[in-house]
């Protein structure tokens, strides 16, 4: 767990976490992604479950090995599409090898012709997390808005994916911040879901 000073703001915590993550060697990144894909899942995966992953950027742990394991177990894969600041994400179906396009934010997303789907499980990128399931994202509020909207309609699982070194003692959580159900790292599975 990384040390931070008491009273650090989310902006400071995010910047420190991203700097630590950026310093990881490529060999450590690849080993962590493989270890993550080999971990036992803390939740049931029913055939046909829609799992939204993401295309890694800015040093994020690569979810693609895990996504391929989930697809081999019958999951239908999807990727998020950004619709606007602090707005819920939309999701489009994705299979390995599908053509992707860069959004105006530089994020790789499925083509507009890909069918829209509603995920049952979201693999959530993050900058930092704590032992209570709070996360620090990138400040745009996309996943908070998405999880709030989805959970108002149905049960959905939110599993943060991270390197173990991204854990910090405490995230200064606000009322609008949504708690993750799980965080999966190359070393551990943290469970926050109740019931």
What are 178's strand-pairing partners?
none
pLDDT at 5: 39
**54-94 pLDDT tens trace:** 999 989 999 999 999 999 999 999 999 998 877 899 999 99
Per the CB < 8 A criterion, the answer to whether 92 and 116 are in contact is yes
Report which of 58, 122, 50, 59 is spatially closest to residue 89, judged by C-alpha positions. Answer: 122
Domain regions of the chain by residue span: 10-170
Q: Are 127 and 4 in contact (CB under 8 A)?
A: no
Yes or no: domain 10-170 corresponds to CATH 3.40.50.10420: yes
Residues 6+ apart with CB under 8 A from 136: 10, 13, 14, 17, 126, 127, 128, 129, 171
- 89 SS3 class: coil
Q: Do residues 170 and 12 make contact, with C-beta atoms less than 8 angstroms apart? A: no
Intra-chain end-to-end CA distance of the chain, in Å: 27
Tens digit of each residue's pLDDT (9 = 90 or more) over 146-168: 999 999 999 999 999 999 999 99
Q: What is the pLDDT of residue 195?
A: 55
The arithmetic mean of pLDDT across residues 36-44, rounded, is 93
pTM of model > 0.85: yes
Counting beta carbons within 10 angstroms of the beta carbon of residue 58, is it exposed (0 to 12), middle (13 to 18) or buried (19 or more)? exposed
Q: Is the pLDDT of residue 139 over 90?
A: no
Contact (Cβ atoms closer than 8 angstroms) between residue 178 and residue 147: yes
pLDDT of residue 2: 46
């Amino acid at each position: 767990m990384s040390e931070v000073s008491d009273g650090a703001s989310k902006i400071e915590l995010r910047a420190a976490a991203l700097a630590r993550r950026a310093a990881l060697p490529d060999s450590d990144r690849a080993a962590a992604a493989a270890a993550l894909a080999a971990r036992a899942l803390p939740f049931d995966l029913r055939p046909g479950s829609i799992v939204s992953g993401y295309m890694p950027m800015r040093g994020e742990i690569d979810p693609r090995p895990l996504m391929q394991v989930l697809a081999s177990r019958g999951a239908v894969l999807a990727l998020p599409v950004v619709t606007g600041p602090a707005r819920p994400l939309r999701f489009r179906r994705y299979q390995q090898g599908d053509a992707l396009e860069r959004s105006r934010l530089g994020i790789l997303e499925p083509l507009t012709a890909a069918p829209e789907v509603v995920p049952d499980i979201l693999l959530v990128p993050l900058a930092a997390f704590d032992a209570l399931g709070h996360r620090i994202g990138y400040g745009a509020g996309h996943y908070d808005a998405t999880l709030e909207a989805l959970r108002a309609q149905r049960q959905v699982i939110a599993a943060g994916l991270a390197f173990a070194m991204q854990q910090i003692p405490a995230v200064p959580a606000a009322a609008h911040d949504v708690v993750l159900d799980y965080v999966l790292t190359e070393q551990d599975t943290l469970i926050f879901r109740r019931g």
